[in-house]
């Protein structure tokens, strides 16, 4: 593997990891906030917080990987 390929892979992994952490924690906080609201809705009671968190993590993964590819694409065209 070349040096540029390793850097691109490291960029994608780090951005994806950050996206997973941020997306998962944001979804988890939203679920907790829903349960602590003064008016708890039926939607809040029927949603599983773990599934909600996993959905947030997967969205964060895709967003992080997309951001890494976009940054790499922009840097490549500036050189």
What does the pLDDT look like over 15-26, one tens digit per residue?
999 999 999 999
Average pLDDT over residues 48-68: 93
The pLDDT assigned to 13 comes to 92
| H or E element that contains 51 | helix 49-78
The pLDDT assigned to 72 comes to 87
pLDDT in tens, 4-57: 788 888 999 999 999 999 999 999 998 888 888 888 788 777 888 889 899 999
Rounded CA-CA distance 57/24 in Å is 4
The full set of domain ranges for the chain reads 18-78
Residue 1 has pLDDT above 80, yes or no: no
């Amino acid at each position: 593997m070349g040096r540029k390929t390793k850097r691109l892979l490291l960029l994608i992994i780090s951005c994806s990891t950050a996206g997973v952490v941020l997306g998962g924690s944001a979804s988890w906080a939203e679920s907790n906030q829903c349960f602590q609201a003064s008016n708890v809705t039926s939607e809040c009671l029927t949603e599983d917080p773990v599934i909600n968190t996993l959905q947030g993590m997967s969205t964060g993964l895709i967003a992080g990987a997309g951001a890494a590819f976009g940054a790499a694409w922009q840097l490549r065209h500036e050189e």
